[in-house]
């Protein structure tokens, strides 16, 4: 019995340290030579080890076995605390941080396999480690994409749209509602352009969060509060989200009304400079479109708002044209009928009112429009030309307009000219139809005879002039669809199409305009805007 006990003891004494703790320490030390993480075996270490390929692990085990044989033949009764192989200079602590071994004169043994193993351990990213958020990177990417496609092509005007300031100012935004609204809108726009449904669904979550943040921000307003630029920008951006996503038919108008109200609280003097001025101009154009179609006077049609914001910087051609458009609802209101533009022209005027003031005011506005056209003749119409720009070769997949001509095509240098010409034709169409309706009502009573409405209308009948305006609008909309199917100018060109869809002189014009609006809403990502206008 004694021999059986002493025999293995002699074998242990010959091969290694007789101490059990020394034997365990030596085994641990030998395992370290392969570059495997030592210390306690927690989940992070297991994850790190799993990142090493299997063939590398097998070679690593072979290297460990070879190192163990060479080291055990020369080590006799070595202190476990100093039993460390010289093959390894760096190991990872239990916290996965590089630790330099304290050796007086280390011997570096390098090999491609050893270097690969150490590099894998030092640079691998276990799933449990903290990963920095990439939200800001994605935000910048979505915003840059949003700005690049929406700013349009404007070579004829020095105006810089407020949209172009978003990428640089995004990092400095202080109001959570604004940052969330920009994130939601840029994601929704990207999703519509790229047909990415998951991103569109995700954008709705951020949209809801921005709505809650905006309500909390507005709750802090009192009688002494002067809204900041960010306060004005939040409902503007949220309105753009509704243009692309279209959660409800009237949400676009609700956000636009909120932006207008905040500007009204801010006052006309505080909208003449800085970032507020381009914001004011953009909201002013959109509110003029809404006021004309809904036939509701805008706050921007008052004398103070017509003049004070433009004291430091005069109006450009498009803003001067918007002046006439803003005054049309007040002119129609003289008929004492509160209804939308379509309902007004489809119904009859009261017979017990004096239509003289309405006719006189309509002629004044038409004369003001004629003066504008003489000052800016290049912005009044899209003249046909045999020249076709390269971008016009990208035709849409929808059915061709019955009024479109295969050739010649209208050629415009940029989206600003196209938008202005289309808005001019729409404004003129409304005023001429208003004069025609008043004259027809007066003629039916036998109290007056029909006279020429202005010198501009003396060479042709009202109906022919209205047809000409409708055809120009449809041609320009075709230009937009073929060349610049995204952008703010493209969105604003929806308004002239709505006018033709509501007031077209013949059913053919109305049908073509409505088909175009339906196609734009479905294929061009502005379904929320087109859907809001169609049923008014």
For residues 247 and 291, which has the higher predicted lDDT (pLDDT)? 291
Distance CA 230, CA 215 (A): 14
Is it the case that residue 150 has pLDDT exceeding 50? yes
Q: What is the predicted pLDDT for the residue at 134?
A: 64
Confidence of residue 192 (pLDDT cuts 50, 70, 90): confident
Q: Which residue has the tokens 């050739």?
A: 407
Q: What is the predicted pLDDT for the residue at 319?
A: 95
Contact of 381 with 472, CB cutoff 8 Å: yes
Distance CA 321, CA 331 (A): 16
Contact of 516 with 498, CB cutoff 8 Å: no
Confidence of residue 439 (pLDDT cuts 50, 70, 90): confident
Confidence of residue 326 (pLDDT cuts 50, 70, 90): very high
Q: How far apart are the first and last CA of the chain?
A: 107
For residues 341 and 388, which has the higher predicted lDDT (pLDDT)? 341
Confidence of residue 521 (pLDDT cuts 50, 70, 90): confident
Give the pLDDT mean for 100-127. Answer: 54
pTM: 0.68
Write out pLDDT tens, residues 41-95.
Answer: 444 444 334 444 444 444 444 444 444 444 444 444 444 444 444 444 433 344 4
Lowest mean pLDDT among 218-222, 275-279, 408-412: 408-412
Alpha carbon separation from 462 to 349, 433, 435, 455, 504 (Å, rounded): 19, 8, 9, 12, 13
Distance CA 109, CA 87 (A): 5
Q: What is the predicted pLDDT for the residue at 390?
A: 35
Q: What is the predicted pLDDT for the residue at 126?
A: 54
Distance CA 369, CA 365 (A): 6
Sign of torsion, CA 126 132 134 135? positive
Give the pLDDT mean for 440-459. Answer: 50
Give the pLDDT mean for 453-476. Answer: 75
Note if the bond before 437 is cis, omega within 30 degrees. Answer: no
Highest mean pLDDT: which range of 66-70, 106-110, 281-285, 478-482: 281-285
Is it the case that residue 321 has pLDDT exceeding 80? yes
Is it the case that residue 357 has pLDDT exceeding 80? yes
Question: What mean pLDDT, rounded, does the chain reach?
Answer: 73
For residues 411 and 501, which has the higher predicted lDDT (pLDDT)? 501
Confidence of residue 15 (pLDDT cuts 50, 70, 90): very low
Lowest mean pLDDT among 300-304, 412-416, 517-521: 412-416
């Amino acid at each position: 019995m004694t021999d059986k006990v002493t025999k293995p003891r002699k074998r242990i004494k010959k091969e290694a340290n007789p101490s059990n703790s020394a034997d365990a320490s030596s085994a641990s030390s030998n395992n370290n030579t392969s570059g495997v993480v030592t210390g306690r075996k927690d989940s992070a270490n297991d994850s790190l080890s799993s990142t090493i390929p299997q063939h590398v692990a097998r070679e690593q085990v072979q290297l460990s076995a070879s190192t163990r044989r060479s080291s055990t033949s020369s080590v006799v009764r070595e202190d476990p605390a100093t039993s460390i192989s010289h093959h390894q200079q760096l190991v990872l602590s239990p916290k996965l941080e590089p630790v330099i071994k304290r050796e007086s004169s280390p011997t570096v043994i390098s090999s491609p396999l050893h270097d690969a193993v150490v590099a894998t351990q030092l640079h691998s990213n276990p799933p449990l480690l903290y990963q920095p958020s990439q939200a800001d990177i994605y935000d910048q990417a979505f915003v840059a994409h949003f700005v690049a496609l929406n700013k349009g092509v404007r070579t004829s005007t020095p105006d810089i749209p407020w949209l172009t300031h978003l990428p640089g100012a995004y990092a400095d935004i202080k109001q959570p509602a604004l940052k969330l609204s920009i994130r939601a809108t840029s994601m929704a726009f990207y999703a519509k352009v790229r047909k990415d449904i998951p991103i569109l669904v995700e954008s709705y979550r951020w949209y809801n969060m921005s709505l809650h943040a905006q309500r909390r921000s507005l709750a802090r307003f009192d009688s002494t509060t002067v809204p900041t630029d960010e306060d004005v920008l939040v409902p503007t951006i949220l309105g753009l989200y509704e243009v692309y996503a279209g959660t409800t038919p009237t949400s676009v108008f609700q956000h636009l009304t909120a932006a207008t109200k905040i500007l009204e609280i801010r006052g006309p003097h505080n909208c003449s400079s800085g970032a507020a001025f381009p914001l004011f101009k953009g909201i002013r154009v959109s509110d003029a479109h809404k006021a004309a179609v809904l036939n509701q006077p805008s706050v921007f049609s008052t004398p103070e708002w017509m003049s004070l914001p433009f004291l430091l910087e005069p109006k450009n051609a498009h803003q001067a044209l918007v002046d006439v458009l803003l005054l049309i609802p007040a002119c129609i209101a003289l008929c004492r009928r509160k209804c939308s533009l379509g309902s007004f022209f489809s119904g009859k005027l009261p017979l017990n009112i004096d239509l003289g003031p309405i006719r006189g005011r309509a002629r004044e506005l038409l004369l003001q429009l004629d003066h504008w056209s003489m000052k800016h003749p290049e912005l009044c119409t899209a003249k046909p030309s045999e020249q076709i720009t390269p971008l016009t070769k990208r035709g849409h997949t929808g059915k061709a307009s019955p009024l479109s001509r295969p050739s010649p095509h209208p050629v415009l240098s940029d989206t600003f000219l196209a938008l202005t010409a289309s808005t001019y034709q729409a404004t003129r169409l409304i005023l001429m139809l208003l004069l025609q309706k008043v004259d027809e009502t007066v003629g039916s009573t036998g109290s007056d005879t029909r006279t020429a409405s202005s010198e501009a209308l003396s060479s042709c009948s009202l109906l022919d002039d209205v047809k000409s305006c409708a055809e120009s609008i449809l041609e320009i909309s075709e230009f937009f669809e073929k060349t610049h199917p995204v952008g703010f100018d493209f969105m604003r060109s929806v308004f002239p199409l709505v006018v033709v869809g509501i007031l077209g002189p013949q059913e053919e014009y109305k049908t073509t305009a409505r088909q175009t609006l339906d196609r734009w809403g479905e294929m061009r990502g502005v379904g929320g805007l087109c859907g809001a206008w169609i049923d008014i």
